[in-house]
Amino acid sequence: MIVNKQQHKPSVLHRPWFGAAMYLVFGLLWISGSDRLLAVLISDAATLTQYQSYKGYFYVSLTAAIAWFLLNQKQLYAKSLRVSERALSDTFDYAAAGIAHVSLQGALLHVNRAFCQMLGYSYAELTKLTFQQLTHPLDLEKDLESLQRVINGETEEYTLEKRYLRKDGSTLWTRLSVAIVRTNETAYFISVIHDISEQRATRQKLAESELRFRTLLDNTPQIAIQGYNADGTTIFWNKASELIYGYSKAEALGSNLLDLIIPPAMHKAVGTAMAQMAATGVAIPSEELLLQRKDGSMVAVFSGHAVVQLADGEPQIYCIDVDLTAGKQQTN
């Protein structure tokens, strides 16, 4: 987001010229108006002099009250401004995320405690560096390109995942969000940095686990595994399924399992079993079945099921088929 930061302007009451103008106008009106009024109402010279003194005392008291009001307003305004500035300063310094003000050339103008702690530098050390010096070389080009687009006005802000280099030489994965602030005098970037090293490590472990799982399943030629949704749409098809049933992975994914390997006479029963497993999360008992290959021939398999209930999605059903052809041939 581009922030056009205007200087905070005090109200008219807080401007010096307003007080002077108010005093001048009121004084002129009071002197000329009150003298004329007293001349009309009082003819005795001694009494007129006495009332002119009273008029002076009143004027001094009134202007003193006005001066007190204006000075009190100024003090209240200054106090409010100090409280606001302190709140903003505390928000910056004590935020849980790292925050940095960065010049258009990349110099770190101001950084908060969290950012110092993330990278292991003191405030004095960090503010002598540029973000280019702190960015991992493999991430610098992408960061500079995004920054230039903001400067050119092509985008209002950007967010990316990048690596910073800590003082001890280690790497820190972060999520960086950048916006530009433009004032009448200058322009600078506000960078907000979140430490995502734990999330990255978790994602990497999950990816490695999934890779091991898929590698294991794809390299077990005797066990065919098909994954499908409650409506029968195929979402997983391993190499053994290709070998046993004759459909390639590309052919199978997105197709309905009933149309692929279930004989027409079994469609209704298998469809009911799919719906039951999806609704209850309980797999049906394993059993021996005669299923259908792509060429129309039948294959005997021992078929079992597993239901995977995802936290934020519909259940997925996995069918595990063991080809019984070789065993039956040996028996015969």
Q: What is the pLDDT of residues 226-245, one digit of tens each?
A: 999 989 999 999 999 999 99
Could you tell me the two tokens for 273? 């079993």
Average pLDDT value for residue range 273-299 = 92
The one-letter amino acid at 324? L
- The mean pLDDT value of the chain amounts to 85
Pairing of strands 171-182, 3-4: parallel
Query: Six-digit token pair at 116?
Result: 């110092």
Query: Which residue has better confidence, 218 or 256?
Result: 256
Q: Give the Cβ contact number of residue 123 at 10 Å.
A: 14
pLDDT recorded at residue 15: 66
* 55-68: average pLDDT: 77
pLDDT of 107 > 80? The answer is: yes
Q: What is the distance between the alpha carbons of residues 197 and 190, in angstroms, rounded to a whole number?
A: 22
158 to 123, 176, 330: CA distances (angstroms): 25, 8, 65
The CB-based long-range contact list for 252-260 (8 Å cut-off, 24+ gap) reads: 252/226, 256/231, 256/232, 257/226, 257/228, 257/232, 257/233, 257/319, 258/232, 260/234, 260/294
CB proximity list for 289: less than 8 A, separation 6 or greater: 266, 300, 301, 302, 303
Closest CA to 317 of 287, 266, 276: 276
Contacts with 100 (C-beta within 8 Å, 6 or more apart), sequence order: 108, 109, 110, 111, 112, 115, 131, 190, 191, 193
Give CA–CA dist 16/77, Å, rounded.
14
Across the strands, what pairs with 160?
176
What is the Cα–Cα distance from 249 to 242, expressed in whole angstroms? 7
In this prediction, residue 170 carries a pLDDT of 94
More confident residue, 271 or 44: 271
Q: What is the mean pLDDT of residues 168-197?
A: 92
For 34, residues 6+ apart whose C-beta sits below 8 A from its C-beta are 55
Q: What is the pLDDT of residue 270?
A: 92
pLDDT score for 162: 95
In angstroms, the Cα distances linking 92 to 126, 134, 180 are 16, 21, 16
One-letter identity of residue 58: F
Closest CA to 308 of 317, 298, 299: 317
Segment 259-276 mean pLDDT: 93
Instruction: Name which of 287, 229, 232 is nearest 260 in CA terms.
Output: 232
Dihedral sign for Cα atoms in the order 36, 37, 43, 48: negative
Residue 332 has pLDDT above 80, yes or no: no
Give the residue-averaged pLDDT of 281-294: 92
| Count of residues in the chain | 332
Per-residue model confidence (pLDDT) at position 193: 94
Mean pLDDT score, 28-45 = 74
Evaluate if residue 28 carries a pLDDT over 50.
yes
State yes or no: pLDDT of 13 exceeds 70: no
For the stretch 110-160, pLDDT in tens is 999 999 999 999 999 999 999 999 999 999 999 999 999 999 989 889 999
Task: Supply the DSSP symbol for 238.
Answer: -
Does residue 2 surpass a pLDDT of 50?
no
In angstroms, rounded to a whole number, what is the distance separating the alpha carbons of residues 233 and 253?
A: 8
Q: Average pLDDT, stretch 11-37? A: 70
- Confidence label for 250 from pLDDT (cuts 50, 70 and 90): very high
Of 16-30, 85-99, 186-200, the range with the lowest mean pLDDT is 16-30
Across the range 174-197, mean pLDDT stands at 91
Average pLDDT of span 207-214:
83
Amino acid identity, position 216: L
Q: Would you say residue 50 has pLDDT above 50? A: yes
Higher pLDDT, 53 or 252: 252
Question: Torsion over CA of 228, 232, 234 and 239, rounded to 10 degrees?
Answer: 80
- Per-residue pLDDT, averaged over 209-225, amounts to 81
Which of helix, strand or coil describes residue 11? Answer: coil
